[in-house]
Amino acid sequence: MKYIVIKFGGSNLKCKEDFYRIIKVLKIYDRPVIVVVSALYGITDRLNDALMRIQKSRKEIKGIIEFLKETHLSIINQYIDKTGEQKELCKRIEARVEELEKKFMGIYYFGDVPDFVHDWVLSFGERLSSLLLCSLLNVFGIDAAEALPEDIGLITDGIFKNASIDFEASIHSVQKTLSENKTYIIPGFYGISKEGKITLLGRGGSDYSAAAIARCVQAESLDIWKDVPGFSSVDPKILPNAISIKKLTYSEAAELSYFGAKILHPQTVEPLLHYSIPLRIFNIKTFSGELQPVTYIADTKVITPSIIKSVTYSDDFSILGLNGPGVGIKPGIMAQVTTILNQNNINIKSIITTQTRIKLLLSRFDIDKGYQLAKSLHLATLDEIKTEDDISLIAVVGEGILNQPGIAARTFQAVFTQGINVRLISAGASDVAIYFIVSKNDKIQAVKAIHEEFFSKS
Ligand code: ASP
Ligand code: MG
């Protein structure tokens, strides 16, 4: 029988009741499954913050160690009153936390956090939650074993902080080690480089871990449990009348995640395509004993009358502009700039060019470094290198968007009617998305206007 891979994120791992819910859910599956977990809510941020503080002050070590013990042990203590079992479990959690303490001392003495130490430390949030969940499941009569990425051979490309899975190197060993037909609990968020170092898969990366494992074992489905009603036509925080989306294709889900919908890590869909593994999103808040997904993501295209399924936005984009009379015709400028960015692990999110301008869209976290790198090339053909970071990207996404006349016109008409200036447009590069840039201040109004156009009128 094929496995189902199930993922629970940090927002479902806050308190005692959350663990009750998870145990209830796993009992409904009633078969061996692979469970991938995030850290308990807020723990990764706390670890990150501690890394900064410990470099300057030794006193901080005690604080974070106590906090980690307290947070995890209090869940055990609230659950179990059989003293023997409780003591045993607490000891195991404490032992794992104490592994961290020694490294923290090293960080304090060196006054620095090399990347490999950073990734090692941040992976502990997940390593603690997987141990905790696995132990609780055992206490509640679910036979489960913890399987760490280093033990199953989940191999990455070795890039610290933002690694990708190397499937060729991983598939065989992951399949082999997860073959006993029992329930496994795996910490998400990291894999191992070929040299054996822990490498993180980027913030929010447990979704991607789960998808990667699903691909390695050719899972029947990847089930991601959330505490929100799946994908929706717009961020419900902007418009409470957002409509929940029942079905999406892989491309639609990928574009929406990439362009800001915070439901999934943007790389989650990619590993699933290979074997067309369906991705089912569930809302644990409305779980009533049935495995009924709120959003189902697969190959099957559903073209709705309004074509657009969702309008989304992201503030994590900045523009690196390269201006000069010949940039569009002189060969090599783009190659040099993209090479130096690549060598420095800066991801280019998109590129738009004209004869006199090249605009590279980078994460706003990379823009200053990207600017310095481009400058360092001293390219004579460039009159000016400049950055724009007071911007937001808005995307409208839906299958059929490029084949249906008038969608772009309606989108931009809705924005122009509000008197909002569009600073840059891209259409055609993706089959299912049109995106454009506006000033950050105009973002909410533009998103609302587009949603109104497609979801209130048709
Ligand atoms: N705990 C990690 C984070 O907060 C990974 C995840 O939650 O997916 O980014
Ligand atoms: Mg997450």
What CATH number is attached to the domain comprising 28? Answer: 3.40.1160.10
Residue 272 has pLDDT above 90, yes or no: yes
Written as one string, the DSSP assignment of 150-198 is HHHT-BB---TTS--B-HHHHHHHHHHHT-SSSEEEEE-SEEE-TTS-E
Portion of the chain with pLDDT greater than 90, in percent: 79
The confidence score (pLDDT) of residue 261 equals 85
Residue 221 has pLDDT above 80, yes or no: yes
Instruction: Verify that 404 and 437 share a domain, yes or no.
Output: yes
Question: How many CA atoms, within 13 angstroms, populate the side-chain half-sphere of residue 397?
Answer: 28
Residue 109 has pLDDT above 80, yes or no: yes
Q: What separation in Å is there between the alpha carbon of 82 and the centre of ligand 1? A: 32
The rounded distance, in Å, linking the Cα atoms of 309 and 248 is 8
pLDDT digits (tens, 9 = 90+) for 337-356: 999 999 998 999 988 888 88
Mutation choice for ligand 1 from 206, 257, 267, CB with most ligand atoms inside 8 A: 206
Sorted by sequence, the CB contacts under 8 Å of residue 245 that are 6+ apart come out as: 230, 231, 232, 233, 295, 309, 310
Which of 40, 61, 39 has its CA nearest to residue 49? 61
8's enclosing H/E stretch is strand 4-8
Give bridge partners of residue 7 from the DSSP assignment.
36, 224
CATH number at residue 326: 3.30.2130.10
Mutation choice for ligand 1 from 189, 213, 224, 264, CB with most ligand atoms inside 8 A: 189
Q: Which atom of ligand 1 is nearest to the CA of 202?
A: 9
Instruction: Verify that 282 and 335 share a domain, yes or no.
Output: no
Instruction: Verify that 435 and 320 share a domain, yes or no.
Output: yes
In this prediction, residue 457 has a pLDDT band, given cuts at 50, 70 and 90, of: low
Instruction: Verify that 31 and 163 share a domain, yes or no.
Output: yes
Q: What separation in Å is there between the alpha carbon of 383 and the centre of ligand 1? A: 42
Q: What separation in Å is there between the alpha carbon of 387 and the centre of ligand 2? A: 30
The confidence score (pLDDT) of residue 68 equals 96
Residue 193 has pLDDT above 80, yes or no: yes
Question: Mean per-residue pLDDT for 37-58?
Answer: 96
Residue 414 has pLDDT above 80, yes or no: yes
Instruction: Verify that 317 and 282 share a domain, yes or no.
Output: no
Residue 418 has pLDDT above 80, yes or no: yes
The answer to whether 245 and 256 have CB atoms below 8 angstroms apart is: no
| Residue 148: count of CB within 10 angstroms of its CB | 18
Instruction: Verify that 26 and 43 share a domain, yes or no.
Output: yes
In this prediction, residue 368 has a pLDDT band, given cuts at 50, 70 and 90, of: very high
Instruction: Verify that 273 and 326 share a domain, yes or no.
Output: no
Instruction: Verify that 274 and 350 share a domain, yes or no.
Output: no
Question: Mean per-residue pLDDT for 179-204?
Answer: 96
The confidence score (pLDDT) of residue 323 equals 92
In this prediction, residue 367 has a pLDDT band, given cuts at 50, 70 and 90, of: very high
Portion of the chain with pLDDT greater than 70, in percent: 99
The confidence score (pLDDT) of residue 204 equals 94
Instruction: Verify that 290 and 329 share a domain, yes or no.
Output: no
The confidence score (pLDDT) of residue 82 equals 64
Tokens describing residue 146: 């913890």
Residue 425: which domain range? Answer: 311-455
Residue 72 has pLDDT above 90, yes or no: yes
Tell me the residues surrounding ligand 2 (ion) with CB < 5 Å.
Answer: 9, 204
267, 302, 337 - which closes a domain? 302
The confidence score (pLDDT) of residue 326 equals 77
Instruction: Verify that 226 and 341 share a domain, yes or no.
Output: no
pLDDT digits (tens, 9 = 90+) for 202-216: 999 999 999 999 999
**Which ligand lies nearest the alpha carbon of 43?**
1
Q: Which atom of ligand 1 is nearest to the CA of 126?
A: 1
Q: Which residues of 90-103 are buried (b: 16+ CB within 10 A; e: fewer)?
A: beebeebbeebeeb
Which of 411, 400, 414 has its CA nearest to residue 435? 411
Question: At residue 259, what is the residue type?
Answer: F
Q: What separation in Å is there between the alpha carbon of 402 and the centre of ligand 1? A: 35
Question: Mean per-residue pLDDT for 280-299?
Answer: 95
Number of domains in the chain: 2
Q: Which atom of ligand 1 is nearest to the CA of 207?
A: 8
Question: Mean per-residue pLDDT for 358-378?
Answer: 95
The confidence score (pLDDT) of residue 431 equals 86
Compute and round to an integer the Cα radius of gyration of the chain.
24
Q: What separation in Å is there between the alpha carbon of 80 and the centre of ligand 1? A: 27
Residue 458 has pLDDT above 80, yes or no: no
Q: What separation in Å is there between the alpha carbon of 7 and the centre of ligand 2? A: 10
Ligand 1 pocket list (CB less than 6 A): 9-10, 38-39, 44, 125, 188-189, 203-206
Which of 258, 265, 266 has its CA nearest to residue 397? 258
Mutation choice for ligand 1 from 126, 198, 263, CB with most ligand atoms inside 8 A: 126
272, 302, 332 - which closes a domain? 302
Instruction: Verify that 289 and 317 share a domain, yes or no.
Output: no
In this prediction, residue 179 has a pLDDT band, given cuts at 50, 70 and 90, of: confident
pLDDT digits (tens, 9 = 90+) for 305-340: 889 999 999 999 999 999 988 787 777 888 899 999
pTM: 0.92
Instruction: Verify that 204 and 147 share a domain, yes or no.
Output: yes
248, 267, 302 - which closes a domain? 302
Tokens describing residue 206: 């447990």
